[in-house]
Amino acid sequence: MAVAAVLGAVIGGVVVNANKSDAGGPRAGAPAQQAAATCEATQVAEKTLPSVVTISASKGNTGGTGSGEVIRKEGYILTNNHVISLAADGGKVSVLFNDGSSVPATITGRDPKADLAVIKVEGQSNLQVIPFGKSSDVEVGQPVVALGAPLGLSGTVTSGIVSALDRTIQVPGDNGEMALLVSAVQTDAAINPGNSGGALVNCASELIGVPSAGATIPSSEAGGGSAGDIGLGFAIPVDLAKSISDEIIETGTVTHAYFGVSVVTVPSGGVYLRSVVPGGPAAKAGLQAGDIITAIDGNPVNSTTDLAAVTLTKNPGDVITVDYTRGGQKASTKLTLGAER
């Protein structure tokens, strides 16, 4: 069955491909989860919905909706970049709270590469902040609840389980470039257009992921119509979302790790260095145009996406081990990642 992933916001109904299919297994040493097959969704909804909001973004006659969650009592709200990117240049953003009140919001900062953003509302008191869980505690098979505004239907709650971990999913980003969902949490809880930026929580009502993409059967395989949710949704893991949102709030921007190379995927495996930036991290590590990177820190590199994932999960200044081949000869080097905004 052909399956394509689509952005989970009303304004982002673009078909994209899931490019990595290895499933993560249960995490060793993770705490025991609830024995029940599902969370007590009623209790989770009661605790969590006051923290979940519906976000509307518009520019001119174009607009759409998505979801978000309050992450700081000062009025900061976490969402996906693709939910609010339409309004980033002269547009408007508004937030609808669970109690029915609606207020304007401003964009604090965006990270198009990771598809995350933070917005802020002013003059609101007693905002209920969603508690953060930990990515290391998430297990395959544990029950979860997704909350958001699919198709603009605010306060929608769906439940399911964590189906897999460590997915890498490409989705359309700004200016024709691709964003990357790294180490994404896969769930069978219904994720539909408009859920983007909302909350995927555990049974303790703790945020464990930011729903960002869902899968549908292409219309050609569904008799020409939309198949809707098919039980394949993907969420940005909470640790990455927290790290990026903290940086946005503190600095207004995000700094990612930088290799200083131009690459293409080699069909037989690895990435070919088309060019190396003079004086950049790769050049300083001794890499040259024509080299083929085959592994990083012992993990196989099969495509340019694997290299891009490193820039999102590592920090500038981190030292990595790069395995590569040059003229058919295997070699290894230490590379200190640079910084790129």
Task: Please give the Cα distance from 314 to 157 (Å, whole number).
Answer: 34
Examine the residue annotation and report whether 115 is marked as an active-site residue of this protein: yes
Q: Is 297 a catalytic residue?
A: no
Of residues 82, 159, 163, 303, which has the active-site annotation? 82
Active site residue 22: no
Contact, 330 vs 323, CB < 8 A? yes
Written as six digits, the tokens of 184 are 């994404």
Between CA 158 and CA 191, with CA 243 as vertex, the angle to 5 degrees is 20
From the list 111, 115, 291, 323, the catalytic residue is 115
Catalytic residue among 51, 94, 159, 196: 196
Q: Catalytic positions, please?
A: 82, 115, 196
